[in-house]
Amino acid sequence: MSAKIIDGKAISGQIKGEIAEETKKLKGKGIVPGLGFILVGDDPASRTYVRMKGKACEAVGFHSVTQKLPPDTTQAELMKWVTQFNLDPDISGFLVQLPLPDHLDETEVIEAVDPNKDVDCFNPYNVGRLPSGREAFAPCTPAGVIELLMRSGYDPAGRHVVIVGRSSIVGRPLATLLSRKAPGGNATVTLCHSRSGDLTYFLKQADIVVAAIGSPEMIHGDMIKPGCVVIDVGVNRVEVPKEVNEKGYRLVGDVHFDSAREVAEAITPVPGGVGPMTIAMLLKNTLRAAQRKA
Contact assessment for residue 1 and residue 262, using Cβ atoms and an 8 Å cutoff? yes
Give strand ranges (E) for the chain. 4-5, 34-40, 63-69, 93-96, 160-164, 188-192, 208-211, 229-232, 236-239, 249-252, 266-267
Edge-to-edge strands, sheet with 208-211 = 4-5, 266-267, 229-232, 208-211, 160-164, 188-192
Active site residue 120: yes
> Residue 165 annotated as binding?
yes
Name residues contacting ligand GUN, limited to 126-155 (CB under 6 A). Answer: 140
Q: Is 97 in the site for ligand GUN (CB under 6 A)?
A: yes
Active site residue 97: yes
Q: Total number of residues binding ligand GUN (CB under 6 A)?
A: 6
Q: Which of 35, 78, 120, 138 binds ligand GUN (CB under 6 A)?
A: 120
> Residue 252 annotated as binding?
no
Q: Which of 98, 112, 157, 251 binds ligand GUN (CB under 6 A)?
A: 98
Contact assessment for residue 38 and residue 77, using Cβ atoms and an 8 Å cutoff? no
Catalytic, out of 16, 53, 117, 284: 53
Q: Which of 39, 78, 95, 267 binds ligand GUN (CB under 6 A)?
A: 95
* Nearest C-alpha neighbor of 15 from the set 56, 55, 45: 56
Distance of closest approach, residue 170 Cβ to ligand GUN, in angstroms: 9
* Nearest C-alpha neighbor of 126 from the set 95, 157, 98, 151: 95
> Residue 167 annotated as binding?
yes
Give strand ranges (E) for 220-265. 229-232, 236-239, 249-252
Q: Is 118 in the site for ligand GUN (CB under 6 A)?
A: no
Q: Please say which residue, 95 or 203, places its beta carbon nearer to ligand GUN.
A: 95
Distance CA 62, CA 175 (A): 31
Catalytic, out of 120, 207, 232, 254: 120
* Piece in contact with ligand GUN (CB under 6 A), picked from 1-9, 92-100, 154-162, 215-223: 92-100
* Piece in contact with ligand GUN (CB under 6 A), picked from 12-20, 91-99, 148-156, 198-206: 91-99
Name residues contacting ligand GUN, limited to 22-51 (CB under 6 A). Answer: none
Burial of 154 (0-12, 13-18, 19+ CB in 10 A): middle
Active site residue 53: yes
Active-site positions read 53, 97, 120
Binding residues: 165-167, 235
